[in-house]
Amino acid sequence: MKIPFFDYPALFRLYEAEVVEAFLSAGRRGAFIMQSDLTDFEAQLAKYTGAKHAIGMADGTMALLIGLRAAGIGKGDEVIVPSHTFVASAAAIHHAGATPVLADCGRDHLIDAASIRARIGKRTKAIMPVQLNGRVADMDPILAIADEHGLRIIEDSCQALGATYKGRQAGTFGAAGAFSFYPSKTLGTFGDGGAMITNDDDIAEHAQLLRDHGRGKSGKVEAWGYNSRLDNIQAAILNVKFRHYDKEVARRRAIAGQYDQRLRDLPQLQLPPPPVEGGVHFDIFQNYELEAERRDELKAYLAENGVGTLIQWGGQTIHQFERLGLAAKAADVPYTERMTSRFIMLPMNVSVDDASVAYICDKIRKFYGAA
């Protein structure tokens, strides 16, 4: 069997006719920048997440940067962000003029509240929880810390569209939330794309102008802005993909359930929490990330047997990127440090069928000598 970690052509074939139709329609209307496909998508995203405003952006990184700036975070401020995230989370903080301060994660691979508390200083202005792998962090203690210290929350929910915590959608816990529509994301387009959501009218208005060269509704330039609009064609593709989104999330949760059932007895693995109905968390499984003993050998063995796996961030978390000059040491983020030699992701997307999941799990069991 050959099971690639990610099958991009299969992803395109899935809704090819509908996507081509959307492309032709936008093309024939000459609808390329800030047109109705974009406003339709923004309205859909706002409705889906329950946020008052959704604003399309060029990508998730810009959605984070603009979210930070629109929420008033900038020079001299510190923002606490987990070390186990894509460098884009910290880069957005840096480019907003602030300093990323790295926190540890826990067994769920999400930012740890005790570590946030330990990293708070005089200049701390905000927390950026990263809702990694399609799961929302344990937000109650994080909200309590933010409240106690008067900190803003800017959520990196780039990997978590539709995930909920106590019924509340990822991206809606703070001043602003960011989403990425990079092709491999659960809601992926065929290029780059992103969006910011907020319930705050002022942040929304500021973000609208920052994404469009600082131009306000009258066309007058009111701030130094960016060219960071979500392309209308990408929005048209996203409108097609959105129609199938709930069904795709259900399939991902079913795959995760099968991995859990077939692998949970192996002591060499630490699996992510399985999908549950009606619990505190509703996870959408952007990724199926686990920890494994002899991780690199397992990866090589699976590759020999035709199974593609991926180690996020190339196996390095942000505190290990020495050239970025961040002050965090391994001792500040002990769980993350230990985990970097153990974490790995199994194939998780809608083109993985049940037979493939069974095959992958059989190979893993064989590798560890389990029946």
Q: Which residues bind ligand PLP (CB under 6 A)?
A: 59-61, 85-86, 88-89, 130, 132, 156, 158-159, 180, 182, 192, 194
How is residue 170 written in tokens?
């990822």
> Nearest approach, Cβ of 180 to ligand PLP (angstroms)?
3
> Nearest approach, Cβ of 56 to ligand PLP (angstroms)?
12
Report the 10 Å Cβ neighbour count for 17. 9
How is residue 42 written in tokens?
């923004």
> Nearest approach, Cβ of 171 to ligand PLP (angstroms)?
12
Which residue minimizes CB distance to ligand PLP?
60
Cα→Cα distances 45→8, 171, 187, 360, Å: 24, 11, 11, 35
Nearer CB in complex with ligand PLP: 192/289: 192
Residue 292, H or E segment: strand 288-292
Nearer CB in complex with ligand PLP: 289/298: 289
> Nearest approach, Cβ of 240 to ligand PLP (angstroms)?
19
> Nearest approach, Cβ of 146 to ligand PLP (angstroms)?
20
**How many helices (H) and strands (E) would you count in the chain?**
13, 13
Distance CA 146, CA 228 (A): 29
Nearer CB in complex with ligand PLP: 194/347: 194
Q: Are 100 and 79 in contact (CB under 8 A)?
A: yes
> Nearest approach, Cβ of 308 to ligand PLP (angstroms)?
19
How is residue 228 written in tokens?
């960071």
End-to-end CA gap in the chain: 20
Output Rg (C-alpha) for the chain, integer angstroms: 21
Nearer CB in complex with ligand PLP: 164/228: 228
Nearer CB in complex with ligand PLP: 268/320: 320
> Nearest approach, Cβ of 83 to ligand PLP (angstroms)?
12
Distance CA 107, CA 12 (A): 35
Q: Are strands 176-180 and 152-156 parallel, antiparallel or unpaired?
A: parallel
Nearer CB in complex with ligand PLP: 85/172: 85
Nearer CB in complex with ligand PLP: 82/347: 82
> Nearest approach, Cβ of 92 to ligand PLP (angstroms)?
8
Q: Are 109 and 130 in contact (CB under 8 A)?
A: no
Distance CA 209, CA 273 (A): 40
Nearer CB in complex with ligand PLP: 285/367: 285
Q: Which of 160, 226, 178 is nearest to 67 (CA)?
A: 178
